[in-house]
């Protein structure tokens, strides 16, 4: 496995917001997860599909992908199509645009030992394109002001700015499982101004392990998130309300709690998971013990169960209509929409209270429904 940069592009959102977290995270192992491996598999497939589309040498990686499925295949093909559309656009600006896939990008001019790997970079006269594939569907990722993308752009400029007359940078996030394609453009001069100012200053602090700890949504991907004192202080600020019943709180107090409610829940879950792993390794916490959790019965051999039940004169199976997702996979999206048009509906979603920054339109509340024109 290749060496990871201390101040990598992928972790820049965290270390720019909380510089000393970079050195703090060195004390903790990267445990990985199934989600991370799924993302790695998806990137391998995307690389293959894109190279195939561009006529480059490539080997099909699917046999070695633990999480390969039809959805991943569809996502990778969609990614390749999207990048090809940008390549065609670049060709209208430049006769010989350069397309780099899984390219190491060095931005150490501004960040000590800083480098990362760009999913796809397209260089043409006038415009530099940075494309990043995101397979996750938990959090929608925006390209606007995205430091990871901006660092990749700086690395690409180091390679090609003297060869191509680049004046603007277009950054795109392709996140198919969230139906999200986020694009953000900025002038090269604006990017360089950020690099020489805020970026360089924060990077120096981060590399030295200095600066102020700062808790926030960026803590989500921090290795020290379960034991960070600053994050604990940030979340325990809610303790000043003594967890009173909501009816005793003023509206502005409830609003203050809502701002931190999700982060508080995430922090508590992180602490519990960390404590469980520590307890399993022998750490004793006063008042707590490790027990076996609840489990459900399951068949040891489904084929044997089916044969046994059939021999006993019973039918072990039940006829069931495929769910919408499974049916769409069976028919394909185009055929599904064509033959089942009018037979599928999307009911109104369950009301959810979210920050005003959420992109979804606001629902009419009961009070608004009864307002007179």
239 and 125 in a common domain: no
Q: Which carries the bigger pLDDT value, residue 247 or residue 263?
A: 263
| pLDDT over 90 at 241, yes or no | no
Tens of pLDDT, residue by residue over 132-151, are 999 998 888 999 999 999 99
| pLDDT over 50 at 1, yes or no | no
| pLDDT over 80 at 282, yes or no | yes
233 and 190 in a common domain: no
Kindly state whether residue 320 falls inside one of the protein's structural domains: no
261 and 204 in a common domain: no
Banded pLDDT at 243 (limits 50, 70, 90): low
Residue 173's pLDDT is what?
97
Kindly state whether residue 367 falls inside one of the protein's structural domains: no
Minimum mean pLDDT among 97-101, 159-163, 195-199, 366-370: which range?
Answer: 366-370
Kindly state whether residue 335 falls inside one of the protein's structural domains: no
Among 155, 181, 208, the domain-final residue is: 208
Residue 137's pLDDT is what?
87
Kindly state whether residue 260 falls inside one of the protein's structural domains: yes
Region 264-289 average pLDDT: 88
255 and 156 in a common domain: no
221 and 204 in a common domain: no
246 and 177 in a common domain: no
Kindly state whether residue 71 falls inside one of the protein's structural domains: yes
| pLDDT over 80 at 371, yes or no | no
Among 154, 179, 208, the domain-final residue is: 208
198 and 49 in a common domain: yes
Kindly state whether residue 66 falls inside one of the protein's structural domains: yes
Residue 366's pLDDT is what?
56
167 and 27 in a common domain: yes
173 and 41 in a common domain: yes
26 and 168 in a common domain: yes
Kindly state whether residue 357 falls inside one of the protein's structural domains: no
Residue 246's pLDDT is what?
66
Q: Which carries the bigger pLDDT value, residue 179 or residue 260?
A: 179
Residue 259's pLDDT is what?
82
Kindly state whether residue 162 falls inside one of the protein's structural domains: yes
Tens of pLDDT, residue by residue over 322-332, are 888 888 888 98
Banded pLDDT at 211 (limits 50, 70, 90): very high
Region 209-226 average pLDDT: 91
Q: Is the pTM of this model over 0.85?
A: no
- Give the angle subtended at the CA of 31 by the CAs of 30 and 36, to the nearest 5°: 90
202 and 230 in a common domain: no
Residue 104's pLDDT is what?
94
Q: How many domains does the chain have?
A: 2
Domain with 37 in it: what CATH number?
A: 3.90.320
247 and 185 in a common domain: no
The range of the structural domain enclosing residue 257 comes to 217-280
Among 154, 184, 208, the domain-final residue is: 208
């Amino acid at each position: 496995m290749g060496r990871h940069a201390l101040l990598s592009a992928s972790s820049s959102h965290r270390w720019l917001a909380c510089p000393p977290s970079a050195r703090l995270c060195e004390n903790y192992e990267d445990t990985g997860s199934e989600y991370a491996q799924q993302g790695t598999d998806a990137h391998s497939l995307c690389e293959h599909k894109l190279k195939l589309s561009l006529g480059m040498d490539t080997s099909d990686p699917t046999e070695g992908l633990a999480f390969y499925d039809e959805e991943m295949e569809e996502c990778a093909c969609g990614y390749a199509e999207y990048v090809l559309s940008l390549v065609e656009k670049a060709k209208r600006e430049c006769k010989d645009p350069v397309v780099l896939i899984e390219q190491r990008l060095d931005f150490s001019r501004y960040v000590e030992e800083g480098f990362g790997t760009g999913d796809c970079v397209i260089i043409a006269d006038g415009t530099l394109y940075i494309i990043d594939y995101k397979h996750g569907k938990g959090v929608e990722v925006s390209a606007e002001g995205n430091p990871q993308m901006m660092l990749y752009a700086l690395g690409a400029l180091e390679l090609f700015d003297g060869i191509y007359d680049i004046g603007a940078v277009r950054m795109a996030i392709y996140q198919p499982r969230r139906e999200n394609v986020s694009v953000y453009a900025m002038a090269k001069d604006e990017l360089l101004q950020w690099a020489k100012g805020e970026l360089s200053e924060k990077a120096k602090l981060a590399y030295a392990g200095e600066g102020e700890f700062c808790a926030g949504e960026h803590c989500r991907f921090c290795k020290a998130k379960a034991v960070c004192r600053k994050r604990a202080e940030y979340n325990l600020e809610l303790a000043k309300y003594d967890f009173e019943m909501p009816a005793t709180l003023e509206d502005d107090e409830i609003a203050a709690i809502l701002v931190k409610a999700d982060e508080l829940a995430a922090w508590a879950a992180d602490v519990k998971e960390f404590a469980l792993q520590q307890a399993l390794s022998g750490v004793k916490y006063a008042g707590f013990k490790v027990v076996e959790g609840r489990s459900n019965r399951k068949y040891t051999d489904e084929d044997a169960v089916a044969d046994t039940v059939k021999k006993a004169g019973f039918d072990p199976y039940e006829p069931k209509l495929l769910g919408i997702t499974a049916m769409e996979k069976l028919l394909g999206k185009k055929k599904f929409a064509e033959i089942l048009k009018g037979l599928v509906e999307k009911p109104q979603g369950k009301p959810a209270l979210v920050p005003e920054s959420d992109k979804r339109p606001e629902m009419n509340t009961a009070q608004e429904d009864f307002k007179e024109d």
